[in-house]
Chains A and B, each alone.
Chain A
Amino acid sequence: MDFELTDEQELIREAVREFAEAEVAPIAAELDRDHRFPYELLPKLAELNLMGMPFPEKVGGAGADEVSYVIAVEELSRACASTGVIVSAHTSLATWPIYKFGTEAQHERYLHDLASGRRLGAFALTEPAAGTDAGAGTCTAILSGDEYILNGSKIFITNAPFAEVYIVFAKTDPAKGTRGMSAFIVEKNTPGFSVGEAEHKLGIRGSSTPPLYFSDCHIPKDALLDGEGYGFKVAMQTLDGGRIGIAAQALGIAQAALDASVAYAKERVQFGKPIADLQAIQWMIADMATEIDAARLLVYRAASCIDNDRPYSTEGAMAKLFASETATRVAGKAIQIHGGYGYTESYPVERNWRDAKITEIYEGTSEVQRMVIARSALR
């Protein structure tokens, strides 16, 4: 069994860390404070081929493996969790389904621009009354001649309104439930498609998540992705991979909280010595480091399954469940180690904790991950 990263994976970690520390970390607190989307980072991310890492070079990607991709999301998230999810949602949720299910014409029209980072993508599944119960969505797409007419709304859509390409799920046959759901590629300025006000969130405040509205929005028939009635399958398979990206995001947040805690524990003097010399602090640091290492093994294992063409649904669910809950626990301990200072904006750990919480919720709650894992274990 080989636990060593390849040279390329090591060098990708170093390169992304170099970029993240120079360009992302310095603005992370400001993005959070001002709820500001880091638009200026997009061309830089694209230049480094970070917007389409796991896709082949011939379609505009970097041609990297999935392990490298999760390392990149981890390192970006270590500096700024918002930037991590912008890249993860764009790559795993918007670009991947086009790569996987798109026609040649759809590849031609969208894939190169998305994988090269020239255009930003988003994934629109969640609705006000359909979160975990994704099949309960009421958004409709009714065929009329050579067009579908979209009506309904979506909420919590990462990367809107900056995204130019949206994967939108709607019922083409509402009577058939999940089997009546279809996926569509919708372009930003399509008449009848509008974006609402951004949500004010607890964390990942640099990531924009507004609602989308479709009002008699006409889209061409060839915007359909993978055939009528296959939307639920497209969504579930996309989320299977997407949750590994979120697991990597959680891992990066947790690592950031540990790094801050180690630095603080060595500097902070109480009772005449650094608090790192106190066993109470050492035990917390030990637990944090161990849990992060375990999470990292699960995340890399799940990504490795994709690289080796093996099933990864359960492995991805385990990785996301454990990494996300680890991130919240570790960030909480990081605040505890920082004491009163940790509860203030003077240190990054309160942001780490607020950012961590969402990783237990989006792209499948911890409860959904447990359902997936239990279904596999009890099979």
Chain B
Amino acid sequence: MRIVVAYKWTSDPQEATVRADGTVDWSRAKPGLSAYDPVAIELARQLAEAAGAELIGVTAGGKGVAAPIASKAALSRGLDRVVIVEDESLAEAGRSQLAAVLAEVIRHIGDVDLIVTGDSSVDVAAKMVPTVLAGELGWPAVAEVTAVSGQAGALRVERAIPGGVQVLEVSGPAVLAASADAAVPRVPGMKEVLAAAKKPVELLDLAALKVPAASVVMTVTGRSRPERKARKGQLIDTTDPAAAAAELVTALREAGAL
């Protein structure tokens, strides 16, 4: 069985600032694994360990995604190897373009039985890539996945739905988007961090992948920045919890929030 985790190496928006013209300044934001991707890796790793499967990481993006620290960060979380497409033309790639590239990477790897992704990317958070990727491959896509077990061609997938859990039996390859709390990621041990540099890293050339050109082109032509609202900075004395709660409710009502 061969399981792929599609991960994203990106910057934390908490460390980014929005410029006056609405564009985002990422220059001081530290790059890292997208926040929910360790959850996806952990979910896939548990399945891989139980099924004796190979666990491969894939990613595509602009400059930096193939930096040694990026692949080591992913590999230290239990991946057996990673396959990376780094091309500056992908720095601002939309979800359709990214999914099309990832689909070609999956075809390049071959014999992939399952793709797991995070709930969403920490920077864009559109939750679209898993679905578009599945569409590119002609596979089913399942979102909000909370558990997965079984073997290739006979997977049992649980997904959260409003008011309960849906259990699916999947007979072929699929793309699963893990829910944000599907698994608690293991912290990489020191030996895992140090061993990451010894694992295989395959770099693919974007041009050689021959990704079909998109039939529709979308370009961002404008951005606006919402006006920042002044903070009230109102402190509530919590010595008496009941009085503090009453004061909070009153303040929220006065502000029109309740």
Please give the distance in Å from B68's CB to the nearest CB on chain A: 5
A232–B189 alpha-carbon span in the complex (Å) = 35
A-B pairs with beta carbons under 8 Å apart, 8 shown: A7-B72, A11-B76, A11-B196, A15-B76, A15-B188, A49-B190, A62-B194, A64-B190
Known: A11-B69, A11-B72, A269-B233. A63 touches B187 (CB 8 A): no
Specify which of A15, A47, A53, A68 lies most central, judged by the most chain B CB atoms within 10 Å of its CB: A15
Is the Cβ of A8 less than 8 Å from the Cβ of B194? yes
- Interface flag for B73 (CB, 8 Å): yes
**1/0 per residue A240-277: CB within 8 Å of B?**
00000000000000000000000000000100111000
The B-contacting residues of A in range 1-31, CB under 8 angstroms, are: 7-8, 10-12, 14-15, 18-19, 22
Closest to A15 in B: B188
Please give the distance in Å from A24's CB to the nearest CB on chain B: 11
- Interface flag for A298 (CB, 8 Å): no
Q: Which residues on B are within 8 Å of A, measured CB to CB?
A: 32, 68-69, 72-73, 76, 187-191, 193-194, 196-197, 233, 235
A64–B192 alpha-carbon span in the complex (Å) = 11
Known: A48-B189, A269-B235. A63 touches B72 (CB 8 A): no
Chain B residues with CB under 8 Å of A19's CB are: 187
Which of A15, A269, A273 is close to B190, meaning CB atoms less than 8 Å apart?
A15
Is the Cβ of A22 less than 8 Å from the Cβ of B187? yes
Chain B residues with CB under 8 Å of A57's CB are: 191
A64–B32 alpha-carbon span in the complex (Å) = 22
- Interface flag for A234 (CB, 8 Å): no
Chain B residues with CB under 8 Å of A11's CB are: 69, 72-73, 76, 188, 193, 196
- Interface flag for A337 (CB, 8 Å): no
Is the Cβ of B193 less than 8 Å from the Cβ of A15? yes
Closest to A49 in B: B190
Chain B residues with CB under 8 Å of A274's CB are: 233
Chain B residues with CB under 8 Å of A47's CB are: 189
Which of B32, B72, B187, B235 is close to A8, meaning CB atoms less than 8 Å apart?
B72
A7–B67 alpha-carbon span in the complex (Å) = 10
- Interface flag for A50 (CB, 8 Å): yes
Is the Cβ of B69 less than 8 Å from the Cβ of A10? yes
Q: How many A-B residue pairs have CB under 8 A?
A: 55
A274–B197 alpha-carbon span in the complex (Å) = 45
- Interface flag for A223 (CB, 8 Å): no
A205–B32 alpha-carbon span in the complex (Å) = 35
- Counting contact residues on chain A (CB < 8 A from B), the size range is 20 to 34
Known: A11-B73, A269-B235. A63 touches B189 (CB 8 A): no
Using A11-B188, A15-B193, A269-B235 as known contacts, list a sample of 4 further A-B pairs with CB atoms less than 8 Å apart, ordered by residue number in A: A8-B197, A11-B73, A11-B196, A62-B190
Please give the distance in Å from B201's CB to the nearest CB on chain A: 12
Is the Cβ of B196 less than 8 Å from the Cβ of A18? no
Chain B residues with CB under 8 Å of A72's CB are: 190
A273–B230 alpha-carbon span in the complex (Å) = 11
Known: A11-B76, A269-B235. A53 touches B190 (CB 8 A): yes
Please give the distance in Å from B239's CB to the nearest CB on chain A: 11
Is the Cβ of B190 less than 8 Å from the Cβ of A68? yes
Is the Cβ of A62 less than 8 Å from the Cβ of B233? no
Known: A8-B72, A14-B32. A50 touches B190 (CB 8 A): yes
Closest to A274 in B: B233
Closest to B68 in A: A7
Chain B residues with CB under 8 Å of A7's CB are: 68-69, 72, 197
Please give the distance in Å from A245's CB to the nearest CB on chain B: 16
Is the Cβ of B190 less than 8 Å from the Cβ of A48? yes
Is the Cβ of A49 less than 8 Å from the Cβ of B233? no
A38–B197 alpha-carbon span in the complex (Å) = 33
Chain B residues with CB under 8 Å of A272's CB are: 233
Which of A10, A18, A22, A49 is close to B191, meaning CB atoms less than 8 Å apart?
A49
Closest to B235 in A: A269
Chain A residues with CB under 8 Å of B32's CB are: 14
Please give the distance in Å from B118's CB to the nearest CB on chain A: 16
Q: Closest 5 A-B residue pairs measured CB to CB?
A: A269-B233, A62-B190, A49-B190, A7-B69, A19-B187
Chain A residues with CB under 8 Å of B197's CB are: 7-8
Chain B residues with CB under 8 Å of A63's CB are: 191, 194
Is the Cβ of A12 less than 8 Å from the Cβ of B190? yes
Chain B residues with CB under 8 Å of A22's CB are: 187
Is the Cβ of A62 less than 8 Å from the Cβ of B191? yes
Chain A residues with CB under 8 Å of B190's CB are: 12, 15, 48-50, 53, 62, 64, 68, 72
Chain A residues with CB under 8 Å of B196's CB are: 11
Please give the distance in Å from A55's CB to the nearest CB on chain B: 11
Chain B residues with CB under 8 Å of A53's CB are: 190
Closest to B77 in A: A15
Specify which of B69, B73, B190, B191 lies most central, judged by the most chain A CB atoms within 10 Å of its CB: B190
Chain A residues with CB under 8 Å of B189's CB are: 15, 47-49, 62
A57–B68 alpha-carbon span in the complex (Å) = 23
Please give the distance in Å from B246's CB to the nearest CB on chain A: 21
Closest to A50 in B: B190
A47–B187 alpha-carbon span in the complex (Å) = 10
